[in-house]
Amino acid sequence: MKILCVLYDDPKDGMPSKYALDGIPKLETYPDGMTLPTPKGRDFNPGDLLGCVSGELGLRKFLEDRGHTLVVTSDKDADGCEADKELVDADVVISQPFWPYYLTRKRMESAPNLKMAITAGIGSDHVDLQAAMDHKVDVVEVTYCNSISVSEHIIMMILSLVRDYHNQHSIVKAGGWNIADAVQRSYDVEGMHIGTVAAGRIGLSVLRKMNPFDVHLHYFDRHRLPESVEQELNLTFHESVESMVAVCDVVTINCPLHPETENLFDETLINKMKKGAYLVNTARGKICNKEAIADALKSGQLSGYAGDVWFPQPAPNDHVWRTMPNHGMTPHTSGTTLSAQARYADGTREILECFFDNEPIRNKYLIVKDGELAGMGAHSYSKGSVTEGSEEAAEYKK
Ligand code: NAD
């Protein structure tokens, strides 16, 4: 079989010859007891860079030993790109949300052999899920592999925005020391109202991690948490997102992108937020209206915005989120720490082993199966497509 794997570019100076740490901690299970990926073998060192082209997710030996062909490229966007050329006779496509190969209906229809799209990570909105259902292409992801990585990033961003770390850090980098400049937007989070849109794996982890900061915790989700968890964390559940954002000083977005959540934070919803609130979005860029976010930061309706997700990716060089005031944006990195890469490389291999050996893939990894939303897809997504506009990614210039 032919496996097409679309990964981000190598470091500009080549693959690292050594790493900051000698290794990564060994985890026993995920917080809810779910087991980590269990592939039958592994051909990489946990802690090494695996998510870029030369890292190959550690898959080459495994695939070639079994007689398969692996093609790895980062060239994924413009007309005539390498990925499009290789897609036409591919059986499986692997892509990562950090550097998404937008598997639009048109691309899917150019690939008659395509059987499965694997997301090496979490969040399969870069695949046109409706087209996948229509063409019976299965879509799977490595559920839980980087949920905690992302929740750590969210905590970092909530504290950074409220305390105004970014502006303070840039004062030091510019050689300055004016403390009044550095603190005129700086607050404590203690006592604030913090709310998450969705309390799945990431959202619940954020609630748990914020609890010791002596804040008031809120959530909105299509699925209500068990009463025991609500009581343990003293959570306020909201029946609507509007009700929650009206009372929160900090809102964090942790639902997948699908037709129900696309453009959810538009001008209307942002204007229903508490004046001067902070918004942290590591879910997907398209859940927020690009211009409405920039306008709200300029007017002061929002005091800060941070996250690592953009639309499309890579974000065009002139994307307004690069230059808007009081933002803490990074490239899409929160779920691709070296720690997370080891887990999703293992998970991708586990999925491929099951696929080749005709064994069932874990139900929790499934998004689309046999033409229907399945597993986590049925729990967390809705039918339809959200890939429109992704061709703009070709505008990014290295
Ligand atoms: P999860 O499936 O455990 O949780 C998703 C939650 O969203 C579920 O509880 C679901 O009920 C809720 N939800 C779905 N639609 C909703 C709606 N319309 N309104 C309210 N709630 C809704 O997934 P997770 O591991 O917590 O990840 C969530 C999302 O975070 C992913 O789908 C992905 O988009 C994003 N993510 C980003 C990164 C990153 O690197 N930035 C990494 C992992 C995941």
Q: How far apart are CA 374 and CA 191, in angstroms?
A: 40
pLDDT at 296: 99
Residues in the chain: 398
Q: How far apart are CA 43 and CA 52, in angstroms?
A: 16
Look up residue 392 and give its two tokens. Answer: 């703009």
* Residue of 223, 380, 386 with the most ligand 1 atoms within 8 Å of its CB, for mutation: 380
pTM of the model: 0.98
284 lines ligand 1 (CB under 6 A): yes
CATH code matching the domain that covers 147-322, chosen among 3.40.80.10, 3.40.50.720, 2.60.40.3080, 3.40.47.10 = 3.40.50.720
User: Hey, which residues does 3 pair with through a beta bridge?
Assistant: 70, 92
Active site residues: 146, 284, 313, 332
State which residues of the chain have pLDDT below 50.
none
**Is the distance from CB of 49 to CB of 11 less than 8 angstroms?**
yes
Q: How far apart are CA 395 and CA 195, in angstroms?
A: 35
Ligand 1 atom nearest 143 alpha carbon = 25
pLDDT at 384: 96
pLDDT at 234: 98
Residue having the nearest C-alpha atom to atom 21 of ligand 1? 221
pLDDT at 298: 98
In the chain, what are the domain boundaries?
2-145+336-395, 147-322
200 lines ligand 1 (CB under 6 A): yes
Topology alike, domains 2-145+336-395 and 147-322: yes
204 lines ligand 1 (CB under 6 A): no
Quick: pLDDT tens for 123-168.
Answer: 999 999 999 999 999 999 999 999 999 999 999 999 999 999 999 9
Annotation: CATH topology of 2-145+336-395: Rossmann fold (3.40.50)
In sequence order, the 6+-apart residues with CB closer than 8 A to the CB of 28 are 36
- CA angle at 196 for the pair 160 and 240, rounded to the nearest 5°: 145
287 lines ligand 1 (CB under 6 A): no
Q: What is the whole-number distance in angstroms between the Cα of residue 257 and the centre of ligand 1?
A: 8
Q: What is the whole-number distance in angstroms between the Cα of residue 205 and the centre of ligand 1?
A: 12
Long-range contacts, 356-361 (Cβ 8 Å, 24+): 356/1, 356/66, 356/68, 361/140
The dihedral sign for the CA sequence 373, 379, 384, 388: negative
pLDDT at 38: 97
Computed over every residue of the chain, the mean pLDDT equals 98
Helix (H, G, I), strand (E, B) or coil at 350: helix
